[in-house]
Amino acid sequence: MLIDDDDDDIKLFVDSAREVDSNIECIIEKDGAAGLKYLKDGNSLLPDYIFLDLRMPKINGEKCLEEIKKTERLKGIPVFVYSTSTDEKDILNLEKGGAIMFISKPKDTREVYYLISNIIGEKWI
């Protein structure tokens, strides 16, 4: 699942994920409120991973992460903050809040491809 409001970043991510494995299904939500609504719907298919942008309208990535980690059904899903921010304070707060990793958004398809292939090849707790 990718929760991000930038159309170019969404396209780059989805195209790269499908290049890694054509069977990958990407669930896309355009802001934190929509992402949480999807995730908290008891009938929705839960994702294996959540990639979460930090700066979004309605509910930002930090608040979205907080809600995910305090929801029993969701708290075990690995969350990767996937953002253009490089603020050290943001990174530390998000890692304390339960993010597995903070990833600066790459702009190159090859970088996103390697990022996704490495993440799905690891076992995350």
- Structural domains counted in the chain: 1
Percentages helix, strand, coil for the chain (3-state, rounded to 5) are 40, 15, 45
Rounded distance between C-alpha atoms, residue 40 and residue 122, angstroms? 26
pLDDT given at position 124: 57
Rounded distance between C-alpha atoms, residue 99 and residue 115, angstroms? 16
For residue 33, is it within any domain? yes
Segments forming the whole domain that contains residue 102:
2-120
pLDDT in tens, the chain (125 residues): 999 999 999 998 999 898 888 999 999 999 999 999 999 998 899 999 999 998 888 898 889 999 999 999 999 999 998 887 777 787 788 888 899 888 888 878 888 888 888 888 766 55
Q: What is the largest CA-CA distance in the chain?
A: 37
pLDDT given at position 123: 62
Beta sheet of 101-104, edge-to-edge order:
28-29, 2-3, 50-52, 79-83, 101-104
For residue 21, is it within any domain? yes
> Which residue pairs, CB below 8 angstroms and at least 24 apart, start in 27-30?
27/1, 27/2, 28/1, 28/2, 28/3, 28/4, 29/1, 29/2, 29/3, 30/3, 30/4, 30/5, 30/56
For residue 45, is it within any domain? yes
Question: What CATH number corresponds to the domain at position 9?
Answer: 3.40.50.2300
Does pTM top 0.85 for this prediction?
yes
For residue 125, is it within any domain? no
For residue 18, is it within any domain? yes
Angle 2-70-66 (CA atoms, 0-180°, nearest 5)? 55
For residue 36, is it within any domain? yes
pLDDT given at position 40: 93
For residue 88, is it within any domain? yes
For residue 24, is it within any domain? yes
